[in-house]
Each structure stands twice: as C-alpha cells, then as structure tokens.
Structure 1
C-alpha cells in the first residue's frame, strides 16, 4: 500500500513539473497555428534553394571561412591546451598548486559556452572571423586540457614507474612513457574537437563571428528563405563530410569516441 501511494505521488509530482515547464516554455497550439503563414513561406523557400552562380560562390567562400575558423581555433587550442593537460594530468607529477590552478582555469574556459566567448570577443575585436576563432580557441583549450589530461592519466602505470626508477625526470617520463601510450587517444580527442569546432563555428556566426552562420543569420533577417535553404544544405553537407572523414580516421587508429561538450 505504501509503495502504491509513493508511486501515485511520484506520478502526480512528475505531471506537475511537466505542466509547469510547458507553461513557462510558451509552447502552445495557438502560437503554432498563428505562425502557419510564416511556416508556409519558409517551407516554400526551402523547396526552391538559391542556386545562382554568384550566390554559390559566396557560399563556397563562407564554407572556406568556416573551416579556417575551426582549424585555427583547433591549432590554438592544441598549442595552449597540451602543456596545460600535461600539468593537470596526475601521472606527470607536476607541482600540486599549479595543477589546481590549471584545473580551475580549464574549468572556467570550458564552463563559459563558446557562444558567450564569441559575444564578448565581438565586443572587443569587432565582428568577423577573428572573434569566432578566438572564442573557439578559448573554449577548445578548456575542453582539450580536460580530455587530454584524462588520456594521459589513463595509461598503464608500469612503464611510467619503470622509467622513473631509472632516474628519469618528469619531462622525460612524460615524453617517453606517458605520451606514446596515450597517442591514439590524444589524436581521437583532437579529431572530435575539430568536429565540435565545425559545428560551433556555424552557430557563432549568428553573433557576427564569421563563417556560414553569419551569412545564414543575414539571410534569415532579410527573409530570403531560398538563400537560407542553400546555406542550410551547405552546412549539413560540411558537417556530414567532416563527420565521415573523422570517423574513418578514428577507426583507422582504433580510437574510442567522446561527445562534444
């Protein structure tokens, strides 16, 4: 009997929470019905994508800029995040207060969403790909530091201890015993971060950070839904291509997967 009452109260509480959430979200059938004309115009534009040569050239330039932002942000993240990961990894044996400081910095960098970093940097350096690249580099540094440190900590400790017994220092131990074991995992992490950068760069453009997202935002504001259709197709095509190439590369390395965060 007590179990049945508990189940009843759990169901009622769940229903109350769902009803409260739905009420605050603003979703209603009335709003969907009132927006049917806008939805029809959007669907009409999507069925007739813009294919003029001049616009397609602009789309290709935006794709190239998106890839440039993602690659440059990734490289900056690797350059900054790799030494931070080495300090943060427990097996390397770095100075404890420095490890805590790096762990805190990594948490701050990845805790602030890349979209927020982009908004801040657009205000500092102005709209354009530079803001998107720096935002991606900051957030990516935090992510790469955490994920790379986990890879470095997950190695077999036996070779590490054996090298330390020979009198090798921390740098030599990391270079000869830790990094070689974690190499496959580190490459996998970098490939996944590149995938995340491609996805993020299309979103950062909505706040003026360049790439496909910026062109998509402009076309949406001008109600040019045929251009929106072409840009969405280009975005999906780019993401699918990067996903396929990354999966094949990871499969060739025998690496595991991690989700973008």
Structure 2
C-alpha cells in the first residue's frame, strides 16, 4: 500500500469522485439509456456485418501473426538448437541468432496494436486491412515469446535425442516438444485470438472497422440501446473464444 498509494495519486485516481451526487446522476442516466438493447432490423444487419468484420480481422491477424511467431519462437528455443549438442564453430552463431530473434520479438510486441493501426490507417485508409496488419505485427511478437517459453518448459530430452540422431529441427519440434506442449500452445493461441477480438473492437475506434467503429458511431449519437446490443455481441464473442479454447485443450490433452 505504501508503494501503491503514491502511484495512484500520481495517476490522478480518485474513487470518491465516482460517488459524488452529480456524477452518480450522470452515470445512472447513461446506464439507463442502455436499456432496452436495439433490435431493429436495419441495425441488426449492420451489427451482423460488423461482427463478421471483427471476427475476420481477428482471425486473419492471428493467422499472419503465426507466420511470424512460429519461426521466431523456434529460433529462440534452446532445446531446438543443434549448436548446443556440443562444442563447435556454430555455437557462437547459434547464440547470436537466438539473441537476434529475442530482440526482434521485443521490437514487435513493444508497440501497441492501436499505434500500428493508426499508422496503417494512413496507408490503407479506413477499414479492416489496417487492423489485420496491426494485430499480425504485435501479436506475432507476443506469440513468439510465449511459444518459446512453453517449449522450453517441457521435457527436452526427446528433442535432444532426435537432434543427436540426425533429425532436423522440425522433426525435433513435432515429435520431441510438441506432444507435451500442444495443450498449452493451443490454449494460449485461442486466448490470443480472444484478445485479438477485443483489440479489433478497440482498433475500430481509430477507423479499422468492425464492432469498434460501429460502437464509436453509436456512442457519438448517444444511442445507448445500440451500444448495449454491441456490448452483448462482444460478450458472446468472448464466450465463443473461451469455449473454443476449452475444446482444444480437451482434444489435445
């Protein structure tokens, strides 16, 4: 508490302001406008299209992120390093390659996806394309880091035995590390897809399309019923992602 209190004060956090009579009235009026949710046919058509855009943005972004994450994650995994099998001329080169992969992964995940979305909106204009690339870059770094940590946490002896027998890195990954790490890898990938859905909504506020852009329009028009329908849709998407994650863990256990 001694360390936290100065930080809260520096951030300007004042919980008492939430309970001021004037603020409570504003909050109550704002929340009251959310009910009932909008169910008009025209709005539901827009909502369905925005939902499909959000799912497409998140799924395409994660798919492109995997193309970055898999090679970077394998490059950072010491258990897949042939140079570690014994002293040789490639030992220093392998060490520097892993360091370079870590630096690149750090650079990819250091910039928030919203910042990348702002940049790509300038390039591609308004629409989901900017969100897809923003997710691919940031989430590629995040997935690579966690993939490497998961692969390092499992028993490395089968992979080492395969490498010593002359197998390649992909064989060592597929037969040595993946069987023990598959549930965690699948669960974390599904979780990142869930995060990508949430991030897609946020990026919609900067013009990347989807539910976020529709939410921004509804809030600007003070259409609380539309906003609550969008929030309920978002909750349903997160529930879907959680169900997919649980199913993958059961299937791979």
Question: Residue 247 of structure 1 aligns with which residue?
Answer: 246
Deviation at 1:171, TM superposition (A): 4.3
Deviation at 1:162, TM superposition (A): 2.0
> RMSD of the TM alignment (CA)?
2.5
**Aligned residue-pair number:** 242
Q: Whole-Å Cα distance in 2 between the matches of residues 177 and 108 of structure 1?
A: 29
Q: Whole-Å Cα distance in 1 between the matches of residues 5 and 192 of structure 2?
A: 39
For the structure 1 residues 50 and 84, does the alpha-carbon distance in structure 2 shift closer, same or farther, using more than 3 Å as the test? Answer: same
Question: Does residue 61 in structure 1 map to residue 60 in structure 2?
Answer: no
Q: Whole-Å Cα distance in 2 between the matches of residues 224 and 20 of structure 1?
A: 34
The worse-fitting range, judged by mean Cα deviation, of 184-193 and 99-108 is 184-193
Q: Whole-Å Cα distance in 2 between the matches of residues 165 and 15 of structure 1?
A: 51
Instruction: State TM-score, norm by structure 2.
Output: 0.85
Q: Whole-Å Cα distance in 2 between the matches of residues 35 and 222 of structure 1?
A: 21
The worse-fitting range, judged by mean Cα deviation, of 201-210 and 65-74 is 201-210
For the structure 1 residues 27 and 84, does the alpha-carbon distance in structure 2 shift closer, same or farther, using more than 3 Å as the test? Answer: same
Question: Does residue 157 in structure 1 map to residue 156 in structure 2?
Answer: yes
Q: Whole-Å Cα distance in 1 between the matches of residues 37 and 183 of structure 2?
A: 42
Alignment of 1:221-240 (within 5 A): 221-240=220-239
Q: Whole-Å Cα distance in 2 between the matches of residues 140 and 246 of structure 1?
A: 17
For the structure 1 residues 131 and 29, does the alpha-carbon distance in structure 2 shift closer, same or farther, using more than 3 Å as the test? Answer: same
Q: Which runs of 5+ in 1 are unaligned?
A: 1-10, 255-261
Question: Does residue 83 in structure 1 map to residue 82 in structure 2?
Answer: no
Alignment of 1:157-176 (within 5 A): 157-176=156-175
Q: Whole-Å Cα distance in 2 between the matches of residues 111 and 120 of structure 1?
A: 15
Q: Is the 8 A contact 2:191 2:241 kept in 1?
A: no
The worse-fitting range, judged by mean Cα deviation, of 244-253 and 198-207 is 244-253
Question: Residue 9 of structure 2 aligns with which residue?
Answer: 20
SS in 2 for 1:46: coil
Q: Is the 8 A contact 2:36 2:225 kept in 1?
A: yes
Which of these residues, 61, 73, 76, is aligned with residue 73 of structure 1?
61
Q: Whole-Å Cα distance in 2 between the matches of residues 153 and 109 of structure 1?
A: 21
Q: Is the 8 A contact 1:89 1:149 kept in 2?
A: yes
The worse-fitting range, judged by mean Cα deviation, of 172-181 and 86-95 is 172-181
